[in-house]
Amino acid sequence: NREIHLASRPQGWPTADNFRLVEAEVPTPAPGQLVVRNRFMSVDPYMRGRMNDVKSYVPPFQLDAPLDGGAVGEVVASEAEGFKPGDTVLHGLGWREYALLDARAARKVDPSLAPVSAYLSVLGMTGLTAYAGLLEVAGMQPGESVFVSAAAGSVGSLVGQIAKLKGASRVIGSAGSPAKVERLKALGFDAAFDYHDGPVRDSLKAAAPDGIDVYFDNVGGDHLEAAIASMNLHGRAAICGMIAQYNETEPPAAPRNLALVIGKRLTLRGFLVGDHGHLRDRFVRDMSGWLRDGKISYDETVVDGIENAPEAFLGLLRGQNLGKMLVRV
């Protein structure tokens, strides 16, 4: 049983030295517990925040202990009612080959309905984030124009497609490479730009000459500033993430135009997907239907081997993923 420990806390950008591959015993379940052989684990931007020793909405990772996070795998031993070897479960103890879980921390998923990795991507946490953020937090209405940043990523690519399905008049995405921009167009975005090509503010103005009504923020900084500049009266932003500043050691230089929020009567609303569990059933119903009907596509970038999980995480921060970044354990 191999697992990845946090060896040291990163200052600024993390490096491979911040992680350690450790050999551990395969655990045995006590009454009420199960042991799961993980098949896929998720690496997510929020994990960077948990590597800092600061109080936040999730506790920090501990040094010299395994990291954790979303994973799916097969039950290999069970002392818990309702679970048997061979069951596929979703749970929160990734970054290891074998996980020892209390039964109440595991949720059974049906591997015949979707590839098991989908429970960590399109049908999982990032899918619900896109759905809840766009429809509930920003309250997108048909006929509105929508801008989403990190649009070729897991959350962003779904935000854009859901917006189109829900009748957005124009959907604009930004991403970090020409290949990603091409992918966004293939996914049905009306316009897309590479944010390296010039000031985001100018690129967005060109892509959305009539302004935007909704901004789904995954990036913060200059992207948020550009969105505020392009927002129409009564525009709303769902503030989902600010990945541009997760590795910065200085406070961000942008947005510098927050005062526009007043005159334009804008709403900037932060949210955490964990508060939107009430939408889960509706989300799964809608998303499964869209997938079945071929109305939504999703990308996954899969890195093989638990030993490469740190590299997958670093790659995610650098933008090496198209869609959801996953590790096949």
Position among 154, 161, 203, 230 found at the interface with ligand NDP (CB under 6 A): 154
Please, which residue, 234 or 318, has the CB nearer to ligand NDP?
318
Q: Between 69 and 153, whose beta carbon lies closer to ligand NDP? A: 153
Stretch that binds ligand NDP, among 14-22, 38-46, 201-209, 306-314 (CB under 6 A): 38-46
* Contact call for residues 9 and 65 (beta carbons, < 8 A): no
Cβ-proximal residues to 177 (8 Å cutoff; 6+ apart), any chain = 194, 196, 319
Q: Give, in degrees to the nearest 5, the angle at Cα 239 between 233 and 243.
A: 130
Determine, following the binding rule CB under 6 A, whether residue 230 of this chain makes contact with ligand NDP: no
Does 319 bind ligand NDP (CB under 6 A)? Our answer is yes
Question: Under DSSP, is residue 58 helix (H, G, I), strand (E, B) or coil?
Answer: coil
Minimum distance, C-beta of residue 237 to ligand NDP, in the bound complex (Å) = 13
Residue closest to 274 by CA, chosen among 174, 108, 86, 124: 124
* Residue 114, CA atoms < 13 Å, CB-side half-sphere: 20
| CA distance to 34, 113, 209, per residue, from 285 (Å) | 29, 12, 35
CB of 23 to ligand NDP, least distance (A): 29
Rounded distance between C-alpha atoms, residue 71 and residue 4, angstroms:
14
DSSP string, 120-132: GTTTSHHHHHHHI
| Residues 45-84 close enough to bind ligand NDP by CB under 6 A | 45-46
DSSP state letters, 64-98? TSB--B-EEEEEEEE-STT--TT-EEEESB-SBSE
Tell me if 71 sits within 8 A of 40, measured CB to CB: yes
Q: Of these, 3, 44, 68, 144, which contacts ligand NDP (CB under 6 A)?
A: 44
Between 29 and 69, CB nearer to ligand NDP: 69
Q: Is 13 in the site for ligand NDP (CB under 6 A)?
A: no
CB of 222 to ligand NDP, least distance (A): 8
Asked if 156 is part of the footprint of ligand NDP (rule: CB under 6 A), the reply reads yes
Cis peptide leading into residue 255 (ω within 30°): yes
Q: Can you tell me which of 35, 138, 273, 291 binds ligand NDP, judged by CB under 6 A?
A: 273
| 121 is a contact residue toward ligand NDP (CB under 6 A) | no
Q: Is 272 in the site for ligand NDP (CB under 6 A)?
A: yes
User: How many whole angstroms separate alpha carbon 60 and alpha carbon 167?
Assistant: 40
User: Beta strand pairing status for 300-304 and 324-328?
Assistant: parallel
Chosen residue from 29, 124, 153, 255 binding ligand NDP by CB under 6 A:
153
- Tell the smallest beta-carbon distance from residue 71 to ligand NDP (Å): 15
In whole angstroms, the minimum distance from the beta carbon of 150 to ligand NDP comes to 4
Task: Tell me if 175 contacts ligand NDP by CB under 6 A.
Answer: yes
CB under 6 A: which stretch of 29-37, 139-147, 169-177, 283-291 binds ligand NDP?
169-177
Q: Which residues of the shown chain bind ligand NDP in the complex (CB under 6 A)?
A: 44-46, 126, 129, 150, 152-156, 175-177, 180, 195, 218-219, 240-241, 243-244, 271-273, 316-317, 319, 321
